Amino acid sequence: MENVVKTDRRILRTKQAITKSFLELFSEKDFEQITINEIAERANVNRGTIYLHYSDKYDLLDKCIEDHINELISLCTKQENPSVSQGMVQEPKPIFDYFRDNFPFFSAMFSNQRVFLFREQLLNFISVNLMVKMKKPDDQPDIDLELKAQFMASAFIGIVEWWIRHQMPHSTQFMADQVKSLFENNQVYLANK
């Protein structure tokens, strides 16, 4: 599960430079207009080096999305406090913090029409994450769990998207509190209530 062998520093540095350069360009111009040459030059990396890690710019975009999704996943799983057995979803503030700290990326993602993949993966991740911990069929046995998870996940992403697109007009704490309230209205109770 863990990477036992630490990856070479050069690889990490290079990938960082490439994705940083790429995401900058991504927020500046249309995806199709971006060339490998540009990315390489701005990253101060040889053009060929990019091909050592990514097959093309589509793959590069995919990997960027994947990385952030994985970051979100580890953020959520790592947060598992000892009271896991209660089946509660975790505190949303760290999630919002992550969105805020990576604002350029998510802003680019939400403002770019082409990126179905991102929305889809994010939605899937959220809904799965919600559903796993939401097993409370006591009160309303007639509501499908998966359906409800999708419903709540969509709502959550909708709020996030609105928040990002409006340049984060509220603090992450405020957003987290709002989300918690909205979730509680729908019988989804969060940890550290």
Partner DNA sequence: TAACACGTGTTGAATATTTAACGGCCGTTG
Partner DNA sequence: CAACGGCCGTTAAATATTCAACACGTGTTA
Q: Let me know: does 156 contact 126? Beta carbons within 8 Å.
A: yes
* Residue placing its CB nearer to a copy of itself in the complex, 12 or 147: 12
Using the rule CB under 8 A, is 12 a contact of a copy of itself? yes
Query: Environment class of residue 113 by beta-carbon count within 10 Å: exposed (0-12), middle (13-18) or buried (19+)?
Result: exposed
Q: Does 13 bind a copy of itself (CB under 8 A)?
A: yes
- Which of 9/166 has CB closer to DNA? 9
Number of residues that bind a copy of itself (CB under 8 A): 7
Is residue 11 close enough to count as binding a copy of itself by CB under 8 A? Answer: no
Residue 22, token pair as written in the block: 């790429």
**Residue 9 interacting with a copy of itself (CB under 8 A):** yes
Q: Which residues bind DNA (CB under 7 A)?
A: 6, 8-11, 13-15, 35-37, 44-49, 51-53, 55-57
Residues 6 or more apart whose Cβ sits within 8 Å of residue 118: 65, 109
Does 44 help bind a copy of itself (rule: CB under 8 A)? yes
Rounded (to 5) percent helix, strand, coil in the chain: 70, 0, 30
- Shortest separation between residue 11's beta carbon and DNA, angstroms: 4
Q: How far is the CB of 36 from a copy of itself (least distance, A)?
A: 16
State the amino acid at position 137 in one-letter form. Answer: P
The rounded Cα 44 to chain-centroid distance in angstroms is 27
Residues that bind a copy of itself (CB under 8 A): 9, 12-13, 17, 44-46
